[in-house]
Structures are given as structure tokens and as C-alpha cells.
Chains A and B, each alone.
Chain A
Amino acid sequence: MRRFLLARLVQAGVVAVVVGTLCFVLMRVLPGDAAMRIAAGRYGPDAMIAGAAEKVRQELGLDQPWPVQFLEWLANLVRFDLGHSLVTGAPVIEELKVQLGASLWLAAAALLLSLLIGPAIGIVSGLRPNGWADRLGLAGSVTLRALPPFMLGLILMLVFAIWLGWLPPAGFGSWRELALPSLTLALGLAAVSSRVTREAIATVAKAPYFAFARHKGLPEAAVVRRHGLRNAAIPVVSYLGLQAIYLVEGVVVVESILAYPGIGHALVHAIVERDIPMVQGTALAMGLIFVAVTAGVDAASAWLDPRLRRA
């Protein structure tokens, strides 16, 4: 157990440094005058940028040689200080708290929703392969996967916000604003997870231990509950982990269409405005989330499948 955690920590460290460095280098070699862009980001296109840019340059010490700036960043990183946003001037940590927080809420809600939809459908289809439920599920999943997320988002917006008028088309704060974006994401996820679950269940249903459970005389419900779900959950969980990773970045589209203040939204702006600390911070956060998620998945799988606990 301790070795597991240690390994993860090391991995996290490596990811942090690699990702951060990579962003730094990329942002550095980007064309265009950073100070100008930051100024534009700050004061908007109506302002007289040129003058502002000079002030920005001095204020942020952008004229320092880049090794100095990089070492500074590293040093701060060790102190868990991600620096200040060049544009808003707020500490990156604070910005992340808001934006990453929002995205995580969104992601969590989406994941939960997709868990309510996907596996449920998957189990129903998997227990009767090629039954009508299965075919319906397949059709649905293929259709959903063929829809670009932004189109799905727009469709849902038209249906729920305009025609039915149930939910606000945009914004954030209460669950009502959360509903549309998370549903958009959830449907996309469920489209795949339902099939994964279906495969898993169908495979388990043909396993000798599933048959033996029946031959023991257990009632069907008990067979499915005690010997079906857990075994089927193993592949599903490891797959969900993968999804969760794509989720965190998949939110960007939904965010920009549905005016949701998430990490993707922030990332796009940060890159356009050359807000290096924000980009590094965001990437860092995402990288660490990746590590955390994989760790979580490993733990979950180990809990589900004792065979993985060997050694």
C-alpha cells in the first residue's frame, strides 16, 4: 500500500515538472509579443495597447531572461505557489479554485448522470444480448457518438431552455445551470459506457462461474447481484477512469457554448492572452488530476478484483 502511494507521488512529481516545463517552453517560443497580448487581454481592444504594453513589460519583468523566469517558477512550484495570473493579477491558485472547481463540479455531475444512464442501459442490454433493449441501446449509442458535443449541447439547449423552458440555457451557480452542461457531457459518456457495461455483463453471463451460481440453485436476482455486477464492474471501472480524464478537458466545448466558467474556458483565454502562469497552473492541475484518477481507478479495481492484490 505504502509503495503504491509512494509510486503515485513520484509519478505526480514527474508529471508536474514535465507538464510545467513543456508549457513554459511552448509558451516561450510562441510568436507574437507577450506583453502586447497581455495588455490586450487586460484592457480590451479599445485601449491604447502600445503604451500599456510597456508598463506591463516592466511590471511583470517579462524582459528578464527566460531561465530566470523558469527557475522562479520551479522554486515557487516547490512552495506550491503557482504565481499570479498575468492578466487578472489574481493568484493562479485562486483562479483555479474557482474555474477548476467549477469544472470538477460539472465533471462530477456529468459522471454521476452518465452512471445513472450508461450502466443501467448496459446491464439491461447485456442480460439479453440482441434483445430489443440491446438493439435500441446500440442505435442510441452510435447516434450519440456521431453528434459533436457542441451540436448536442445546442440541441439540448433548444429543447430544454427554449421549447420546454425548464432550464436556463446558460450561466452557473445552482444545479439548474449545472443541468444542461452536465447532461450534454453525460449523454456523450453514457453512449460509450453503456456499451462497455453491456459487453462486460454479457461476458460475465457466459462465464462458468455465472452458470455454476445458477446450478447452485440461487434465485436469478441473487445470481446477478452477487456474481454478475461485481465481476462486470471490473472492466467498466477501469474504463470509467479513462473517461474521467477525457471528461475534464472535454468540458471546454460545453463550457464555451453554455457560458460555464470552467477550466477549459480559462485555458483557451490563458493561451490567447499569453497568461503563462495560468496555462502552467491549468495544465499542472489537469496532469495531477490524471494521476489522481488513475490512482483512484487502480485502487477501485484492486478492491473489486482480489486477483489484482497479489504481490
Chain B
Amino acid sequence: MNAPTRIHDLSIADLSVHSRAGPIVRDVSLSLQPGRPLTLLGESGSGKSLVAQAVMGTLPPELTASGAIRLDGADLIASTPDERRKRWGRAISLLPQEPWLALDPTMRIGPQVAEVHRFVRRQAAQRSETLAHENLRDVGLDHASALYPFQMSGGMCQRAAIAIAHAGGSGLLIVDEPTKGLDADLRDSVVARLIEEVDAGRLLLTITHDIGVARALGGTVGIMLEGRLVDHGPAEQVLMAPSHPYSQALLSADPRSWVRSAPVPSGDVMLAGRGLAKAFGDHTLFEDVDVEVRAGEIVSIVGPSGCGKTTLGNILLGLVEPDAGTVERRKDISLLRFQKLYQDPPAAFPPHQAIRKGLRDLVKLHRRRWDEVETLLARFQLQNALLDRLPGQISGGELQRFAILRALLLDPVFLFADEATSRLDPVSQKEVVDVLLEVARDTGLGVLLVTHDRALAEKISTRTVMLARRDT
């Protein structure tokens, strides 16, 4: 692989980003040297991505940056769009989040790497191909150069993106949410890959909300909140003994640091699946799986993406027919009392209907009283103001709590939480999970939790069912 153009230092001094409304990033100062990766932690909207964009030079036109960003002395903020653009791929390269979206769906991987040699480094077509092949081999994709993105797994796409960065031979690598949408095992391999980059002498700036990533990368860690850098220092220090209250909250929100608090079953079996099997086409998801959920307990199904966790849950709910096996439900309980939480909260609400309308209709439909809603709102710390917003205008955490609230109006005996927290930042994840635990405890609700986050499962579930991916 062609050695990266050496960059010795990226220093950010008093960086502020202003919108018409006012500053959205204030006086951020950071520095980054070879061998010590820098990781910015923070929830979405904390301004961490803006910092990265300022460095890359891709801030939206309506935003202006002040302060100084020096890349080996060159001031990035002062530089013209052309100068910025010249750095792309050559000096700075960006690992996009969700690479499978960032690769051209209609072009094979080989050419997508080769074109960098061809058009950025002005190599002959033939040579570009050989070089591209080397880049791919370095990330272990030597067999994949003829594949299209849709034929590759998330991890492969991730590595292909890295290969493209290599091709450019840039010295600074900006990584945006590298683990978004990846499951636990893949996450570790991506992190390992990034560390290799650091060892290869690249500067590494990583943006993430995944504390696990920050911990694994080590180096320097900065924690951002509402546009400010609230905590900054060596990883071990910041992650072990955070100074700022938000940092503490953030860290304590990481499932790894929770105290195990699995609810105890408070009743008999609500729902059981026996010898369940399901296959899509010739691809078998699972065979002969037994699950049972008793009142008041939380059963977790853990496994990598694509192993059929969700399908299993849906089978239990009766949304999908199993190929084999039986689902036993308590006959005397109305089907309405078996409910579901969705992975993507906004998608679980009609996008153009205010929350209030939805709840009102539900209350009317099942002859409940509105004050039940009021009490639940108070209990879940949801302001009344939110009721009149559209789902798109409410944070995922709040929306997920509304989903639970909605389900509780039918006083359910079983709740299938399908990756219910995987899209939330740690803090709101914690809040939602706490609500779940509380409800399970008080109402004897049996919860089936599907997740790829082992840590989470370990901490809160009475029992855990493991599903492995079977690649056929």
C-alpha cells in the first residue's frame, strides 16, 4: 500500500461555528498527533460532526466557522473552496458513515478504488487497476473487486471505504460514526482496522456516540455537549474519571457500566414458542428454537444482524407464520394485549399525524379515559407540549417512550421490543430501558427484548436466548 503523506499535527483552536440563529459550536480547541487517535463523543446534535465538517471543509453554506484549524501550519478555515477541495482524498479523507450508502450502487468496487489512482493521482488506467487491487488486498478484499456494493456485507463496505482512503494516500483520516448500523462483532473488527491505520502513521479523528469505540481506540477523547467540549483528555482518564456531570451521565448510560437489574418472573407463562423454525427461500434463519416468556420477566434474544431475531419475535406475536413449531398463547387473554416496540421509533407512528390525535383515537377506540394518558405522560417525563408535534419533530428517546405509553393503554401482558433502543444515544437508551424495567416490575408485563448488544442483554434480562447467523 502506498504510504500516507506524512502529516504531523492537526490543531484546532477556539473553533466556533455560527448559524444565522447564533453559535452552534463554541470555542472548541483540540489537537491531534500521529500515534494518538482523537475521538469525539457526544449525542446527536452535540456539534461533534460539525467539528469534523469544519476540518473537512464541508460545512453547509449557511454556516460559518471562526477560529483556526491548522493542518501542518496550513489554515483550513482561511483556505478557499478550491484549496479545500484539493486536499480531499490527497491530504484528508473521510470514512463516511454507513459506507454501503456511500459507495456507488451501480459500479463495481474495483473501479471505485481504481478511479482514485486514475483521477486523483493521475495514474495510467492499467496501473490504477493493479494499485487498486493492492489496496483491496490490504483490507482483505482481494476477492471482492468485481462485486457491487449491494453484494457485500456492511463490514466489507466499511473496509472498501478504507481501501479508497488508502488509495488517496491521505495522512488525515476522519471517521464519522464508524459503527452506525453494525452489530457488536463487526464493530470490534472495524475498530481493529482503525487502530491499524493509526499504526500506519495516519492521523485519526473519529466521531461517535459509541463509548465502546472510544474505549477501544484509546488515545485522546473529547466529550461534546450542546456545541461545547465539556471534557477532554487521555482516554483512560476521561473514560474512568469523568469530570463533567454530563460525561458522567453519558458513561453511566453505557450498558457495560450498569448494575445488573433483571426483573424476577411474577407469574406464569404468557407466551411460548416450541420448536420454531423459519427459512426464507433456501436460507434457513433458525430451527427448533424454544422460547417462553413469563409475566414480569425480560427475555432477550441476542445475535448478529440477519440471524432472524426479529422474525422470531414476529412469529411469537403471530405476525409471521413459522415453518415448523407451535406458538402457545394464553387463550383467555385478548390478542390486543400482546404488543410490539419498533427499532425505528419515527416509523412506528403515522408521519403526518400529531401524537395527540393518535392517542385520542386509541383512547376512544378502547374506551379508556384520557387522564390515564395524562398520568402516564407524567410518569414517563413527557411534556404535554410534545403531544401536538408530529413524530418527525420528537427525539427518538421520547418517541420510544410514547410507543410504550401507547402500548400500556391496552394494559398488555406481553411486549416484543425489537431493537427498541439500538438507534438511541446512550442516555436516552438508559431512560427507555429504565421505563421498560419499571413497567415490567409493576404490571407484570412480560418483555421479549431483541438486541445485538450483549452487554445490554446481560444487564437487564432474566434469560437470554442466543441465535447465531447461519450463512448458507
Contacts and interface: CB of A to CB of B under 8 A. Distances in A.
Interface in A207-235: 207-209, 211-219, 222, 226-227, 230-231, 234
A211 B98 CA distance: 13
Interface string B90-115: 10011010100111111100000001
Nearest to B90: A217
A232 B116 CA distance: 22
Interface residues of A, number: 23
A114 to B, nearest CB: 24
Contact of B96 (A208, A217, A230, A304): A208
Contacts of A234: 106
B89 interface: yes
B150 A307 contact: yes
Contacts of B104: 209, 213, 226-227, 231
Nearest to A221: B119
Contacts of A211: 58, 96, 102
A65 B161 CA distance: 73
A45 interface: no
Contact of B107 (A214, A215, A218, A227): A227
Given A209-B102, A226-B115, A306-B106, A217 B120 contact: yes
Contacts of A305: 105-106
A213 B56 CA distance: 14
A271 B150 CA distance: 52
B266 to A, nearest CB: 47
B311 to A, nearest CB: 20
B106 A230 contact: yes
Given A208-B102, A226-B107, A231-B105, A216 B89 contact: yes
Given A208-B102, A231-B106, A305-B105, A215 B148 contact: no
Nearest to A226: B115
B42 interface: no
B112 to A, nearest CB: 8
A76 B184 CA distance: 68
Given A209-B101, A306-B148, A216 B106 contact: no
Contacts of A216: 88-89, 93, 115-116, 120, 164, 168
Contacts of B56: 215
Nearest to A307: B150
A207 B103 CA distance: 10
Contacts of B105: 209, 231, 305-307
Interface string A289-311: 00000000000000011110010
Contacts of A307: 105-106, 148, 150
Task: Name the prevailing secondary structure of the A interface residues.
Answer: helix
Nearest to A311: B281
Contacts of B98: 208
B460 to A, nearest CB: 35
Interface string A234-257: 100000000000000000000000
A311 to B, nearest CB: 10
Contacts of A213: 104
Nearest to A234: B106
A226 B86 CA distance: 19
Contacts of B120: 216-218
Highest count of chain B CB atoms <10 Å: which of A212, A218, A219: A212
Contacts of A212: 94, 96, 102-103, 161
Given A214-B88, A216-B89, A208 B168 contact: no
Nearest to B120: A217
Nearest to B147: A306
A218 B167 CA distance: 12
Contacts of B150: 306-307, 310
Nearest to B118: A222
A226 B111 CA distance: 10
Interface in B332-360: none
A9 to B, nearest CB: 27
Contacts of A214: 85, 88
Contacts of B161: 212
Highest count of chain B CB atoms <10 Å: which of A208, A222, A234: A208
A222 B89 CA distance: 14
Highest count of chain B CB atoms <10 Å: which of A216, A231, A305, A307: A216
A215 B89 contact: yes
Contacts of A226: 104, 107, 115
A310 B96 CA distance: 26
Nearest to A216: B89
A304 B106 CA distance: 7
Contacts of A218: 89, 115-116, 119-120
A307 B231 CA distance: 45
A222 B119 CA distance: 8
Contacts of B101: 207-209
A306 B120 CA distance: 26
B88 A215 contact: yes
Interface of A: 207-209, 211-219, 222, 226-227, 230-231, 234, 304-307, 310
Given A212-B161, A216-B164, A304-B106, 6 more contacts: A208-B96, A209-B101, A211-B58, A216-B120, A217-B120, A217-B168
Chain A to chain B: the 3 pairs with minimum beta-carbon distance, closest first: A217-B89, A212-B102, A217-B120
12 contacts: A207-B101, A208-B96, A209-B101, A212-B103, A216-B89, A217-B85, A217-B90, A217-B93, A217-B120, A218-B89, A219-B119, A231-B106
